[in-house]
Structure 1
């Protein structure tokens, strides 16, 4: 006898998800965390600093940072500056700039869905955006001001174009060439070179090789037009900036460090960075091992194998660079979702549900400790890690977090059995965890990661009519933060103007920079973020010939 059907109000999402259900789930993943916090150290602060420079100076042609040239491909900065300008009536600049990252992330998810649809069909394709969004490494960058997100979207669009070459070669070539061209204007040549061997493979495997090869060659020529236009304008308006940018590109292509350690680092990073796409891709390759060259897996496999050494040689083995390995891995992993054996699929499903349910409980307990002081020991520990933090109860944040937790409980309790249920629960659980972090924990995290307080303290302790400040060992994210929050700009120690500066700003231990508190220099201030406790993590300000009057104000 058949079991009675569930009432409509208790039914979970239909799998595979499609239409509005997939769009809403991906939007809930992308949007929270883009706004509501200051620029954080590393790429987020640098990118927002460049956007701040563009909007304050009105110079869109040559990106700069804290009053200094910052030679880089400009497209992402243009997008971020435009979104910051258009949303300035509602959002601060740093929040408005990150909206560009949200748009790029949604585009990457959309293009990977379209590429998977061409390779694996409509039924299996929804697994692709779920796998991409569910990758642990992707979460780290999807909510920051990150130019590599635009490059990721360009890569995903290029794969979509290449997968269309057998069915619609003209449209596929146009999509591929457009994506390649926009990618060149986003992150330079090195980041887009891994796509060229994949195009050669597609042309070689095509039934009509000559026509496909000609179309792809024409698309590569089309791709050079946006970047060539920008470079031509640079040659007319600012030849020195063009020379600096060209030298940086050539140095990157020459490869300044041995690639093998970086390749090893990427290989060791991928199992956790691309989880769960990595094990599912390995399973799909094993299941199709006897017929790999005749299956749709040949294209993403070749793309991954060619991208790994090229990224290792031309790009740093950083978490952001590894984003470009996710599209081929995801396209490899899509068939592994449906072909996974029942026992393994159930184990993965239970692992995801238990893991994220526990993480959600821990997130709530930690929030209670911060806001209500219970558990007391955990509350004391949170205050020790974030000195000066004062927690406030927010009805909106708590209500949204409670709604998300309730939706998670409903989802895991009502979703019908399906081969895609495991990856659906994994991505939804990761979304829940990020929602709880973005709503409950964001004030605490922002307090320990922002340089707002340090910049304000430094501004208060600068002598009147202080003139220029020379900086040593101060990284770009810190320079960007000081300029963004308080308009404090420095000159490099190698600059001729540095010899006339009476103030010296150093990041780290002064002994590492060869500076001690001798007769010529006296420390007048030190400070940093609340999480910076050691001297090597703090900023130190020295005055030439000043009195010994050290102020520690963080």
Structure 2
């Protein structure tokens, strides 16, 4: 039965974004931070530690470890990063490890675009046909919707930081986007859909999310079983095969782990997290579900809805975990794109003006801080930096300054374009949010890169610890340190670190322990060589100690 569609789209509303502009936007989003950025604590630096342990031969490929502590979860992300270091020996190791993850982020953007393209081409997703012609053509409509999906994904706040790390969640993000693409492309690209499904579930399972892979596969089996599309039913064996393959590879790669920790408070925390983390995709996705409510079981809604609900519920069960919620962003962006043909002009204008004021104010704020660091004005901004990051000395880079200036000028041009009565394209409402997020990341990774490295990296802590250590250090005992600090000591300080034995049983002559703020109290048999704090940490105190012989 053909149900009435809420999408009313004229031909003139389906002009696609120029390919050069779309590629430039993606480059401005993906490339900043690939070079010149230190691994940041906590998860980013920890993941780099496991990657470096394999690449530098400190641990076997099947059991990466930091200071003797083995990794938990899937091993595939650490293998990918280690291969990056092996294949790019001419680059600094942390940069070489980050390159494959940058490529995977680009692949996520591309797969989301193609997923929406194929879903928008289905018959149920087509807009109303006009009595006298002039309605959107199917291919043009699908391309414009795919452009809107990509803009919604780039505009998602939660993807901004987590999407640029080298953590297992990036592979999980790639896996769930492959899953959506597989079901979306099934009517048009059958062999690509099969290959994508065979890759999607094992990638999820071997990167620490086998339960998500299992839930998605069960949902996909149900959707395909009840589908009236014959090729969807023929797809069932491929889903079962991908399930079996995922289960098979998850066991030897330590993929299975039980991390449920929900509580009554988790629901409120989860709602607060959802409110900002998935902005602006979640309100648009909710509007899509409402306007297309009579089509919920059609492919263009049921596929992204399934792929959104599984990670959202997983996040809730894990105590409002933001990294689990990250996986919901690509399917939510696909859902959000179907709100665009039904979006009211008043809501579009509200989103535009919010984006203009918020991101312009943020850009001005960053430029003022940068000016204060370089020339000392405004003095209050400089005083704030000195207070928050003691010992920080600013640096000037002509390249980062030029890139930041070009990005700011591009933002001003985009604002001018959007406010100049260009009202036809259906993706127009997401141009400013996506451009603003890309600008924020570009300015943070140019104007703010050096101070952020100082504040978020453990390199300053390693330098301060090194000043108190003897010249010859055989090994450092550090049983109480967090994993990210162990990774910094081992792979930024280049010391042999042992976190497996307590201070009473260690053979190391030097030890480092962490304690809350207060008077340093070394354990019996140890003397304090120095007391160290990270420049931006007012609470944790690191004691550098030596055996009292």
TM-score (ref. length: structure 2): 0.85
Deviation at 1:219, TM superposition (A): 3.7
Contact 1:162 1:202 in 2 (8 A): no
Go from structure 1 to structure 2 and tell me whether the alpha carbon gap of 1:540 and 1:227 turns closer, same or farther (over 3 Å shift). farther
Does structure 1 residue 540 correspond to structure 2 residue 515?
no
Does structure 1 residue 516 correspond to structure 2 residue 521?
yes
- How is 1:227-376 mapped onto 2 (pairs within 5 angstroms)? 228=248, 245=254, 249=256, 252-253=257-258, 255-258=259-262, 261-294=265-298, 296-313=300-317, 315=318, 317-376=320-379
Query: 1:295 and 1:485 mapped to 2: Cα distance?
Result: 49
Does structure 1 residue 377 correspond to structure 2 residue 380?
yes
Query: 2:523 and 2:67 mapped to 1: Cα distance?
Result: 30
Stretch deviating more after TM superposition (170-179 or 497-506): 497-506
Cα RMSD for the two superposed structures: 2.8
Instruction: Identify unmatched segments of 5+ residues in structure 1.
Output: 1-13, 235-241, 547-554
Does structure 1 residue 389 correspond to structure 2 residue 382?
no
Counterpart of 1:83? 84
Instruction: Identify unmatched segments of 5+ residues in structure 2.
Output: 1-13, 121-141
- How is 1:96-495 mapped onto 2 (pairs within 5 angstroms)? 96-120=96-120, 121-207=142-228, 212-213=232-233, 215-222=235-242, 224-225=244-245, 228=248, 245=254, 249=256, 252-253=257-258, 255-258=259-262, 261-294=265-298, 296-313=300-317, 315=318, 317-415=320-418, 416-417=422-423, 418-463=425-470, 468-492=475-499, 494=501
Contact 2:183 2:303 in 1 (8 A): no
Query: 2:34 and 2:328 mapped to 1: Cα distance?
Result: 23
Deviation at 1:215, TM superposition (A): 3.0
Higher helix share: 1
Aligned residues: 510
Contact 2:172 2:209 in 1 (8 A): no
Report the 3-state secondary structure (helix = DSSP H, G, I; strand = E; otherwise coil) of the residue aligned with 2:505: helix
Report the 3-state secondary structure (helix = DSSP H, G, I; strand = E; otherwise coil) of the residue aligned with 2:235: helix
Query: 1:346 and 1:532 mapped to 2: Cα distance?
Result: 42
Does structure 1 residue 63 correspond to structure 2 residue 64?
yes
Contact 1:450 1:529 in 2 (8 A): no
Go from structure 1 to structure 2 and tell me whether the alpha carbon gap of 1:308 and 1:409 turns closer, same or farther (over 3 Å shift). closer
Contact 2:480 2:499 in 1 (8 A): no
Deviation at 1:137, TM superposition (A): 0.8
Deviation at 1:541, TM superposition (A): 2.5
Query: 1:398 and 1:292 mapped to 2: Cα distance?
Result: 49
Query: 1:538 and 1:158 mapped to 2: Cα distance?
Result: 45
